Structure 1
Amino acid sequence: MPVRAAAPLGAPIWIDLSTSDMDRAQRFYAEVFGWTFTSSGPEYGGYVTAAKDGHVVAGLMPKHPDYDGPDGWITYLHTADIDATVAAATAAGGTNCGGVMDIPAKGRMALLTDPADGFVGLWQPGGHRGFEVVDEHGAPAYHQLTTRDFGAALDFYRQVFGWQYETVSDTDEFRYATAMFDGAALVGVMDGGQFLGAGTPSDWCVFLGSDDVDKTIALIVDHGGSVVRPAEDTPYGRLAAVADPTGAGFNLTSLER
């Protein structure tokens, strides 16, 4: 299992789950992906770090009692200067959600929405460098933004994070681009303008790797999760959309693509 030294600047560096049931979430992800968990203690608000084969892959945190939104996964993008990135994001039409937070001995974080209400995090690493493995069973493998405003999203992430794109398709039926980092497509941007309902925000989604998508789906259902979109073979591997027992959605992708 190759251990990643660092995420490219502007690329996804961390994921965490905001959940209304920490105990149930840990049981679920342990059974489905074999994750193990370490609590950061009360000084970190009950935050729990998940590891796969001894290498950190994700975080879990109790959903704030004043937040009435659904449980969900958050993708964080790598920045070397979070204050400058927040300033650039707001200048480009984004919205900062609560300012920058210092996490002692770990790094600095912020949350923002892009101009089409895509909700994404920022992480400036200190002692915590983000997920250590990718493209493994139960580890992050890909990230996708489905956006209500495709052109505005491309402009925003290019301006704020320096993303460079390759066009996959540019038709009214399917408009998609990938953000490239050191030659690797790590993020996809999909035009969701035709199927995201009025008032529905743009959506960031994480894809977790699976050695066998169909078997992983069976485990998900057996342990209280659900299937949002059944598995299908695509040019990019076998894919499915699923949710954990409290409704937090994520995608599965086969590792042989």
Structure 2
Amino acid sequence: MARLEYLELPVGDRSAARRFYAEAFGWSFTDFGPDYAATMSGDTDVGLDASPDRVKAPLPVIRVEDLAVALASVEKAGGTISVPIFAFPGGRRFHFRDVDGHELAVMQPD
């Protein structure tokens, strides 16, 4: 079953964003390199992306059991693939735009 797994936020300064969310909500973050940090609660988590190629708006990430099936389903339903399948630490994912132009991602964990 597909579920909202993650919300990735584009940030200008990962350290400042990390401090803000820690102070505001008590969230703990794990660093994944110099430009990325994420909560690891096991529920719906938040990623802070300060990389040069970060998305421009918040990016909802949907977890699925079969990435290839999800990609085919998105295309069949009228979605447009904006970033083809790629690997990241912990799994693989792709990005797509829905029929209203919203960008989302779909991931399958390792």
Please report the TM-score for the alignment, with normalisation by the length of structure 1.
0.38
- Is structure 2 residue 64 aligned with structure 1 residue 79? yes
The match for 1:30 is: 22
Rounded to whole Å, the distance in 2 between the matches of 1:90 and 1:11 is 18
- Is structure 2 residue 2 aligned with structure 1 residue 10? yes
Rounded to whole Å, the distance in 2 between the matches of 1:14 and 1:36 is 15
SS at match of 1:64: coil
Q: Look at both structures and tell me which one has the larger radius of gyration over its CA atoms.
A: 1
Percent identity of the aligned residues?
Answer: 28
The match for 1:49 is: 38
Rounded to whole Å, the distance in 1 between the matches of 2:28 and 2:54 is 28
| Number of aligned positions between the proteins | 108
Rounded to whole Å, the distance in 1 between the matches of 2:106 and 2:48 is 16
Q: 1:30 to 1:113 in 2, by over 3 A?
A: same
Alpha-carbon offset, residue 12 of structure 1: 0.6
Alignment of 1:101-250 (within 5 A): 101-104=86-89, 106-126=90-110
Q: Which amino acid aligns with 2:78?
A: G
Q: Deviations over 1:212-238 (max 9, x none)?
A: xxxxxxxxxxxxxxxxxxxxxxxxxxx
Higher relative contact order (CA 8 A, sep 6+): 2
Alpha-carbon offset, residue 84 of structure 1: 2.0
Give 5+ residue unaligned stretches, structure 2: none
Alignment of 1:60-99 (within 5 A): 60-65=48-53, 69=56, 72-99=57-84
Alpha-carbon offset, residue 65 of structure 1: 4.8
Q: Deviations over 1:127-165 (max 9, x none)?
A: xxxxxxxxxxxxxxxxxxxxxxxxxxxxxxxxxxxxxxx
Q: Which amino acid aligns with 1:13?
A: E
Rounded to whole Å, the distance in 2 between the matches of 1:82 and 1:110 is 8
SS at match of 1:108: strand
Alpha-carbon offset, residue 113 of structure 1: 0.7
Q: Deviations over 1:33-84 (max 9, x none)?
A: 0112221226xxx321225xxx3532211143586x4xx3221112111122
SS at match of 1:100: strand
Rounded to whole Å, the distance in 2 between the matches of 1:16 and 1:66 is 9
Q: Deviations over 1:185-206 (max 9, x none)?
A: xxxxxxxxxxxxxxxxxxxxxx
The match for 2:11 is: 19
Rounded to whole Å, the distance in 2 between the matches of 1:103 and 1:65 is 14
Q: 1:14 to 1:38 in 2, by over 3 A?
A: same
Rounded to whole Å, the distance in 2 between the matches of 1:35 and 1:66 is 22
Rounded to whole Å, the distance in 2 between the matches of 1:60 and 1:13 is 14
Q: Which amino acid aligns with 2:69?
A: A
Moved over 4 A (4+): none
Give 5+ residue unaligned stretches, structure 1: 1-8, 127-257
SS at match of 1:14: strand
